[in-house]
Amino acid sequence: MDNNRQIAQTERHPTPTLPACARLPMNRCNLPAVILGSLTYQQHPVALEIDGIRDFHAGLFTTLDSLPDQPTRAQRFMDYMTVRFLLEEPEEAGLMPGRQRKSRVNANYLRLVRGWSFDSDGREGAVLKRWVESRFGLLARHHAGSLLDHSGDAYQRYLLEGARGLYATNALEAQLDLLYTYCQYELRREQSAASHLRLYRGINRIDDHEILGTCGAGRYRVLFNNLNSFTSHRERADEFGDYILMTRAPLPKVFFYNRLLPGMLRGEDEYVVIGGVYEVEISTI
pLDDT above 60 (res 2):
no
Residues 161 and 247 reside in one and the same domain: no
In this prediction, residue 7 carries a pLDDT of 35
pLDDT tens readout for residues 113-164: 999 988 999 999 999 999 999 999 999 999 999 999 999 999 999 999 999 9
In this prediction, residue 273 carries a pLDDT of 98
Output Rg (C-alpha) for the chain, integer angstroms: 20
In this prediction, residue 90 carries a pLDDT of 67
Q: What is the pTM of this model?
A: 0.90
pLDDT above 90 (res 109):
yes
At position 144, the amino acid (one-letter code) is: A
Residue 23 lies in a domain: no
Examine the fold and report which residue of 175, 190, 205 is the final residue of a domain before the chain moves on.
190
State which residues form the domain around 73: 53-190
Asked if residues 280 and 244 have their Cβ atoms less than 8 Å apart, the reply is no
Residue 110 lies in a domain: yes
Q: How many domains does the chain have?
A: 2
Residues 220 and 146 reside in one and the same domain: no
Q: Strand 210-214 to strand 243-250: parallel, antiparallel, or no bridges (unpaired)?
A: unpaired
Residue ranges with strand state E in the chain: 196-203, 210-214, 219-231, 243-250, 254-257, 270-284
Residues 166 and 72 reside in one and the same domain: yes
Residue 26 lies in a domain: no
Percent of the chain scoring above 70 in pLDDT: 86
For the chain, counts of helices (H) and of strands (E): 12, 6
Residue 1 lies in a domain: no
pLDDT tens readout for residues 57-71: 999 999 999 999 999
Query: Could you give the CA distance from residue 77 to residue 75 in angstroms, rounded to a whole number?
Result: 5
pLDDT tens readout for residues 250-260: 999 999 998 99
